Structure 1
Amino acid sequence: MHESAEEWPLGRLLSAAARAVERDWDERLRAVGLTHAALVAIDILLRTGPTGADTLARTARVQPQTMSRTLERAERDGLVERTPHPEDGRRRVVAVTEGGKRAWDTAQHIEREVLPDDPDLRRRLLQVLRST
């Protein structure tokens, strides 16, 4: 006998819903040549401007090695470019390309299709995040 989702504990329901949305979103992003990880990096760069990979990793709350792999693929796919830091040639600055901006625009449309914005849901999810 299968247990009805209506009977699940709230934590299980939230986790299952998040996985379902992420699965759908990831499939749609892949169809346009974009990964969720690259989208996160591009989103941060569009908000903060060009920056270093370490700063991106901290902001995204991932390990530097994870961000490095994400940026390598995103650069190969023409979504970002890495150039030498103007003051420290050992470091590199990451910036979004025009192709990355177009991909970000497309991803915004996809996200609204997968999960249309709901102000009440947004408020409640923010409450959950702030309380943990």
Structure 2
Amino acid sequence: MNEDVLSTPGHLISLAARGFARLSESRLKPLGFGVGQLPVLVALQNGKASTQRDLARFARVEQPPMAQMLARMERDGLIQRTPDPADGRSSRIMLTKTAQERMPEAIGALFRGNKETLTGFTDAEAEQLVDMLKRLIENLDQIASSESSLRDP
């Protein structure tokens, strides 16, 4: 049996991810946000992270790209940094008032986009899709973790 590589879950999920990214980018750009900034914005809004290290961990990116993103976000007036009273070498990062004011509209736009893309799906199917994607991501994380531990003894 010859499988069609273009019909594999990996390829289809990649296509879906790029489609979601394009849709989200087009809806976030007028608000001054980028789709790649979303994990940082949400983490800061929800108080899940307030340092560069924590944000990088939360967003699952390395420190150098996170530093670059935070520099752009600061330049664009979305975040501000203040010295960390507990650690003089570190700074606390928080959303600016402007970013806080735009967040509800941005989140609404993203939820509308997700709802539109799930047209024709029942609520149960949409929940099942989310559950399956979460399990898939857990599997990918476990594989990456075990492979990285084999490379870095």
User: In the TM superposition, what is the alpha-carbon distance from 1:102 to its structure 2 partner?
Assistant: 2.3
Number of aligned residue pairs: 126
Computed over aligned residues only, the root mean square deviation of the Cα atoms, in angstroms, reads 1.9
User: In the TM superposition, what is the alpha-carbon distance from 1:50 to its structure 2 partner?
Assistant: 5.6
**Residue 121 of structure 1 pairs with residue 129 of structure 2:** yes
User: In the TM superposition, what is the alpha-carbon distance from 1:16 to its structure 2 partner?
Assistant: 0.8
Name the % identity: 29
User: In the TM superposition, what is the alpha-carbon distance from 1:48 to its structure 2 partner?
Assistant: 2.8
- Work out whether residues 43 and 49 of structure 2, in 8 Å CA contact, stay in contact via their aligned partners in 1: no
CA distance in 2, matches of 1:114, 1:17: 13
Task: Decide whether aligned partners of structure 1 residues 71 and 42 sit closer, same or farther in structure 2, where only a CA change above 3 A counts.
Answer: same
Structure 2 residue ranges without an equivalent (≥5): 1-5, 119-125, 141-153
CA distance in 2, matches of 1:100, 1:33: 9
TM-score scaled by structure 2?
0.73
- Work out whether residues 50 and 96 of structure 1, in 8 Å CA contact, stay in contact via their aligned partners in 2: no
CA distance in 2, matches of 1:123, 1:50: 25
TM-score scaled by structure 1?
0.83
Superposition pairs of residues 6-25 of structure 1, within 5 angstroms: 8-25=7-24
Larger radius of gyration: 2
Structure 1 residue ranges without an equivalent (≥5): 1-6
Superposed structure 1 runs of 4+ greater than 4 Å apart? none
> Structure 1, residues 30-65: CA drift from partner, whole Å, max 9, x if none?
122111222211111122356211111122111111
